[in-house]
Amino acid sequence: MLPTGRLMDPQQLYELWERQNWVSATIDFSRDRRDWAAMSGELKAQLAWNLSGFFIGEERVTTQFGGLVGAYEDQSEEAFLCTQQVDEARHAQHFNRFFEQVIGLDGSFQERLDWARRHLSAPFEVLFDRELVSANRRLLDDPRDLEAKVEYVTTYMMIIEGMLALTGQHFITEYLERERLLPGFLEGFRRISQDEHRHVAYGTWFLQQKCRDAHIREVVRRKLLELLPVASDVLVPRGADPQAPAILGHTNAQTSDFAFTALHRRLKVVGIDLGAAAPA
């Protein structure tokens, strides 16, 4: 039986964007600079790895989103997708300001991105530099290619945002709130999480609509099974033991369990059952 739960549609999500809009440039990092200066080298290294992934990821998705905008099917979807690309650019700006004003990286935006890339693993590059770029290129070549659009939404909203981004945000936010650190960064990070919940809601709505077709359900399932092993490895720092702490004291098993639980919950709404092919 296919799911019948009612989700917010693109028009409602666009209107929600208007109500939740925010400005990254007004966030005050003065307390954050004092917090960063007082941190141990080990904590700085852990945060640098975690936040570098977000910084690069936000820049990547900003530049690799045009294909989906061009694949809109009505004006409400067009309006919402345009807001999402704006969101991603704003997120990248938030991280750029933090890396410059708090971590203290002088130079250009690009030079800070280059510094952040040194912290990233090969699986991260596979997902963001190969899979996402390829999915975007397919839609740019043919905006009416439904399978290409379905695979893009699966890659981006289900894997990159729905699993990786929201998982990292959960654990990092929990840590910073508990330790009362980096209030300016945290203010923006909460806003970013709010935006990304809206993005994932669009992806869930879109896939629920399209997965009424059995062939499309199989397209989604095949793409998920292809990318889930890569996504799991993205959560492990470069050169780290997969069983060692990954995100601020949480093991890779804990972060993976959180990510896969969230994914399975969304897939149930969409009408996809991966069975025993992925962790519950």
CATH code of the domain covering residue 113: 1.10.620.20
User: 34 in a domain, yes or no?
Assistant: no
What's the token pair of residue 6?
Answer: 């009612």
pLDDT of residue 190: 97
Residue 12: inside a domain, yes or no?
A: no
DSSP state for residue 46 in the 8-state scheme: H
- On whether residue 180 sits in a domain, the answer given is yes
Establish if 14 belongs to a structural domain.
no
Place of tokens 């997902």: 127
Q: How many domains does the chain have?
A: 1
Q: Reduce the DSSP state of residue 209 to 3 states and report it.
A: helix
Place of tokens 């294909």: 67
Phi, psi of 185 (to 5 degrees): -55, -45
Q: What is the pLDDT of residue 136?
A: 97
Give the Cα separation of 113 and 109 in Å (integer): 6
Confirm whether 171 is domain-assigned.
Answer: yes
Q: How far is CA 128 from CA 54, 69, 177, 187, 240, in A?
A: 11, 18, 29, 26, 20
**Do residues 81 and 62 lie in contact, with contact meaning Cβ atoms separated by under 8 Å?**
no
Model pLDDT, residue 41: 93
In tens digits, the chain (280 residues) has pLDDT values of 344 457 999 999 999 999 999 999 999 999 999 999 999 998 998 898 889 999 999 999 999 999 999 999 999 999 999 999 999 999 999 999 999 999 999 999 999 999 999 888 899 999 999 999 999 999 999 999 999 999 999 999 999 999 999 999 999 999 999 999 999 999 999 999 999 999 999 999 999 999 999 999 999 999 999 999 999 888 766 655 555 555 677 777 788 889 889 999 999 999 998 875 554 4
Q: Is residue 2 part of a domain?
A: no
pTM of the model: 0.91
User: Under the phi-then-psi rule, with left for phi > 0, alpha for psi from -120 to 50, and beta for the rest, what region is 244?
Assistant: beta
Q: Is position 26 within any domain?
A: no
Domain enclosing residue 149, as ranges: 41-273
Task: Tell me if 185 is assigned to some domain.
Answer: yes
